[in-house]
A and B are shown apart, each in its own frame.
Chain A
Amino acid sequence: MAAPALSSLRAHVLLLLLGFGLLAAVAPLLSDYPLEIGFRILLLITLAEAWNLLAGYGGLVSLGTACFFGIGAYGFTVLMNFAGLPIGLAMPLAGLGAALLAALVSRAIFRMRGLYFTVGTMALAEATRMFMINYNGLGGATGLFLAQDPPGLFELYMIALALLGLTTALMTLLTRSRFSILLRAVRDDEDAAAQIGVRTFRIKLIVFVVASFLMGMAGALQGLKLGAIEPYGMFGLQWTVNVLAIVIIGGQGLRAGPIVGAIFVVAIGELLADYPALHLALTGLILIVVIRFAPHGLVGLGRRLLDRGRQE
């Protein structure tokens, strides 16, 4: 039992290292357009992985992505502008800020389960957005400018790749270890899990904090790229909805889900860039079809077809 698990882990890590090496190696050869697309895909995968950890593995279906994303962006800009910290320090600290908020609200928000939790996180996101719009200390509705110039696309791409590397490492740690069994137990039946000694609050807190940390870092990165942040954009519901669509289309609770989903969603967005209304309608239609016919997303569908092919 133990030996194959170990060797499959080794294969998994090797595959990931190979993938990341390749993505880093081709970067200097790319022109601006592929770098831009690559950056967007990497950022969305990071966010989607974090949300997948919460919802797919932990059963905590959150609509609060934008809240932690926005906190990360604001925290980062404030740390850069007012404390003069370097990017490499300001970004993780911004992520920690988002994680801290998650820890602070956890006691209240974990009192709610299932759909109530979902609605609770959405209320949290709306509340922080309204606060940022109305609080003048951080620029109010107009937002803040980053004091220094944003770095070039190549640097941004490499930072996004590094952030995804960190995300992937954390995900591997949390979803391929003993922790994942406890996490799935909590997802399947919280009361039954408690009855076999799982400290359910602690398990949920860990994934909530880790996911919020990653979302905060992603927000910081987006803030760095734009050079100017304002509450409507950074705390906007579209971040929450995009990430949710990516994971559902790709496949919930599956490692490859967010990757496939992000590529798919960005590709559709690019193809239909000139027809925004059609883009929205089509994404909605695809979501409906996927939820109805492929509950485990494109990755799950692919696996099923592969299995069927193998059997025949």
Chain B
Amino acid sequence: MNDRAMASTEPLLRASGLVKRYAGVVAIEQVSLTLARGEVLGIIGPNGAGKSTLIGLLGGALKVDDGRIEFDGLDVSAWPAAELARRGIGRTWQIPRPFLDMTVHENLLAARYSLHAFEPSAKAHAACDRILDLTGLADAAQLSASELPLMRRKRLEVARALALSPKLLLLDEVGAGLVDAEVGELIELIQAIRTEVEGIIVVEHVLRVVRECCDRLLVINFGRSLAAGPTSEVLASDEVAAVYLGTAHDRKLPLPGKDRGPGLGLAALLAKPSRASEPAPPLLELCDIHAGYGQAIVLKGVNLRMRAGEVVAILGSNGAGKTTLAKVIGGAIQPTAGMLRIDGIDHSQSPAHQIARLGLAQCMEGRRIFATLSVEENLLIAARGVSAAERADRLSHVYSLFPDLKQRRVSGGTLMSGGQQQMLAIGRALMSRPRLVLFDEISLGLAPVMMDRLYLALAELRAAGLTMLIVEQDVERALELADQVHVMEHGRIALSGTADDVRRNPSLKQLYIGGAD
């Protein structure tokens, strides 16, 4: 009795003086936080500030080097992840890690059986079904987890954590990559979960989620607490705006280079235009492209034309087929019908490396940095077979575009923050001196201030005359940069035009925000 009375007044979680170092580099330095019962705490900060490390420490995936974590009145600082989970801490992974060889339902059962090994199976199945209903996955219960697209995998992350019946839920960037309508659904989901658990800690870049779900915020920067307090106060603070929010809440600054003025002299990174005959065929042309995965047809007749020097943006909600289109263009999957012409020659059945050799570079979704190579090696690998002087020249141009990379040139490619890794991915695409670069969702999961910097870099490239195809969730940023915009829906291009046309078109909102069904 006494214990229980104590427990209800005790905070659910109290962490004090947490320290985590990776081989001498301090990731978290003296961070303290408390979470009262019934509270939702948001943790925000720039990429690389240590947010995911903090989640790792609280969830037990990482060991603390110093400091103390008390959960539910117990000192759990040295507990392994499995024991913390059994005690009631559920976490999601920033990059979803479902058990791919199992069905969605079995993914939840794994959590259920690990805790309640001898529970009657009817009860276990019912509990899982209820959570699948709550998280909107009921229709996918018997699908293999590997068949789920990214956004539903994120839901599965939440569902699997809930299957533990946790007291504390740690949500690591579940909002990244969602369009507006989906962010709305996510907020509803988090509100619904509030009654299921005793406390939630949310790491998030999507400001709407932060604003609408979190009672209090903790801002961390360079591994230290920068500010803490009620959500509205923290978001209004100038200091937070400077390190984190950037121009996200007030995007009036024009991007440089829209007028094609002189930039950083990046022309050296671009392939020289072929001095071909007068009416050159379009650099890239898609005619009635159909493609998909096995039985599922994702693209149902896409037409697209790009001339050298153009900047084209592809918009659309999740599942519209944007990434599949990017894969077709890059040669990662072959279209089942239609033509993919590069310089007027059909390449619809060419493998990826041949398309790359024609000067189409990809900056893939999820960055795909080679973890075992250093930053500089990651860059150089894209520029094989050219003279050493040329290589050095391209390298210096990439470094002038992204000075961060120069500073970190000998460190491992994946040891950098998410934003820096994205810089590396862009730089790597440029190192092959491409004629066209395809950027797939480069702003995914980045802090607003980091998105500003990346888009500034893209504007510089545009000014230098690079042909770019940009696949993007963030409508405003894409419209600002692009000459021509295509909006995709259900595997087709539903709306095309110049950036201004599309911006003014009332059906954009309907198409992009959903409700077009």
Tell me whether A200 is interfacial, beta carbon within 8 Å: yes
Tell me whether A1 is interfacial, beta carbon within 8 Å: yes
Tell me whether A181 and B110 are in contact (CB under 8 A). yes
Q: Quick one: which of B99, B100, B106, B115 contacts A197, CB cutoff 8 A?
A: B115
Tell me whether A2 and B115 are in contact (CB under 8 A). no
Which residue of A has the minimal Cβ distance to B113?
A178
Bound together, the chains give a CA A195 to CA B192 distance in angstroms of 23
Tell me whether B111 is interfacial, beta carbon within 8 Å: yes
Which residues of B have CB within 8 Å of A195? 59-61, 81-82, 85, 90-91, 93
Chain B min CB distance to A247 (Å): 17
Which residue of A has the minimal Cβ distance to B85?
A197
Tell me whether A184 and B102 are in contact (CB under 8 A). yes
Mark the stretch among B158-166, B216-224, B275-283, B404-412 that contacts chain A: B158-166
Bound together, the chains give a CA A76 to CA B68 distance in angstroms of 52
Tell me whether B476 is interfacial, beta carbon within 8 Å: no
Which residues of A have CB within 8 Å of B114? 182, 185, 193, 196-199
Which residues of B have CB within 8 Å of A193? 99, 110, 114
Chain B min CB distance to A190 (Å): 10
Tell me whether B125 and A192 are in contact (CB under 8 A). no
Tell me whether A2 and B125 are in contact (CB under 8 A). yes
Bound together, the chains give a CA A196 to CA B85 distance in angstroms of 6
Tell me whether A181 and B101 are in contact (CB under 8 A). no
Chain A min CB distance to B76 (Å): 14
Which residues of A have CB within 8 Å of B125? 1-2
Bound together, the chains give a CA A188 to CA B86 distance in angstroms of 20
Question: CB within 8 Å of B: which of A178-219?
Answer: 178, 181-182, 184-185, 187-189, 191-200
Tell me whether B117 is interfacial, beta carbon within 8 Å: yes
Tell me whether B113 and A181 are in contact (CB under 8 A). yes
Instruction: Give 1 or 0 for each of A1-34: 1 = CB within 8 Å of chain B CB.
Output: 1100100000000000000000000000000000
Tell me whether B260 is interfacial, beta carbon within 8 Å: no
Question: CB within 8 Å of A: which of B72-111?
Answer: 80-82, 85-86, 90-91, 93, 97-102, 106, 109-111
Tell me whether A194 and B99 are in contact (CB under 8 A). no
A188 and B81 in contact (CB under 8 A), knowing A181-B110, A182-B113, A198-B110?
A: no
Q: How large is the interface on B (under 10, 10 to 19, 20 to 34, 35 or more residues)?
A: 20 to 34
Counting chain A CB atoms within 10 Å of each CB, which of B85, B86, B99 scores highest? B99
Tell me whether A181 and B85 are in contact (CB under 8 A). no
Tell me whether B102 and A194 are in contact (CB under 8 A). no
Which residues of A have CB within 8 Å of B60? 194-195
Chain A min CB distance to B131 (Å): 13
Question: CB within 8 Å of A: which of B156-200?
Answer: 160-161, 163-164
A194 and B81 in contact (CB under 8 A), knowing A181-B109, A182-B113?
A: yes
Tell me whether B102 and A192 are in contact (CB under 8 A). no
Which residues of B have CB within 8 Å of A189? 97, 99
Counting chain A CB atoms within 10 Å of each CB, which of B59, B61, B110, B117 scores highest? B110
Which residues of B have CB within 8 Å of A182? 110, 113-114
Tell me whether B30 is interfacial, beta carbon within 8 Å: no
Chain B min CB distance to A96 (Å): 25
Chain B min CB distance to A5 (Å): 8
Bound together, the chains give a CA A195 to CA B86 distance in angstroms of 9
Tell me whether A188 and B102 are in contact (CB under 8 A). yes
Tell me whether B164 and A178 are in contact (CB under 8 A). no
Chain A min CB distance to B327 (Å): 22
Tell me whether B122 and A2 are in contact (CB under 8 A). yes
Bound together, the chains give a CA A178 to CA B114 distance in angstroms of 9
Bound together, the chains give a CA A181 to CA B100 distance in angstroms of 12
A197 and B97 in contact (CB under 8 A), knowing A178-B117, A185-B110?
A: no
Tell me whether B111 and A197 are in contact (CB under 8 A). yes
Which residue of A has the minimal Cβ distance to B110?
A185
Bound together, the chains give a CA A189 to CA B156 distance in angstroms of 15
Instruction: Give 1 or 0 for each of A50-73: 1 = CB within 8 Å of chain B CB.
Output: 000000000000000000000000
Tell me whether A185 and B99 are in contact (CB under 8 A). yes
Chain A min CB distance to B124 (Å): 9
Bound together, the chains give a CA A192 to CA B95 distance in angstroms of 11
Which residues of A have CB within 8 Å of B80? 194
Q: Quick one: which of A181, A187, A198, A200 contacts B106, CB cutoff 8 A?
A: A181
Instruction: Give 1 or 0 for each of A74-94: 1 = CB within 8 Å of chain B CB.
Output: 000000000000000000000
Instruction: Give 1 or 0 for each of B364-379: 1 = CB within 8 Å of chain A CB.
Output: 0000000000000000
Tell me whether A188 and B101 are in contact (CB under 8 A). yes
Pairs A-B, 4 closest by C-beta atoms: A197-B85, A196-B111, A188-B99, A194-B81
Task: With A1-B121, A181-B109, A199-B114 given, name 14 new contacts (CB 8 A).
Answer: A2-B121, A178-B109, A181-B106, A182-B113, A182-B114, A184-B101, A184-B106, A185-B110, A194-B81, A194-B85, A196-B110, A197-B82, A197-B111, A198-B82
Interface set of A (CB-CB < 8 Å, partner B): 1-2, 5, 178, 181-182, 184-185, 187-189, 191-200
Interface set of B (CB-CB < 8 Å, partner A): 59-61, 80-82, 85-86, 90-91, 93, 97-102, 106, 109-111, 113-115, 117, 121-122, 125, 160-161, 163-164
Q: Could you pull out 23 A-B pairs where Cβ atoms are within 8 angstroms?
A: A2-B121, A2-B125, A182-B113, A184-B102, A184-B106, A185-B114, A187-B101, A188-B101, A189-B97, A192-B93, A192-B97, A192-B98, A192-B99, A193-B110, A195-B60, A196-B110, A196-B164, A197-B82, A197-B86, A198-B82, A198-B110, A199-B82, A199-B114
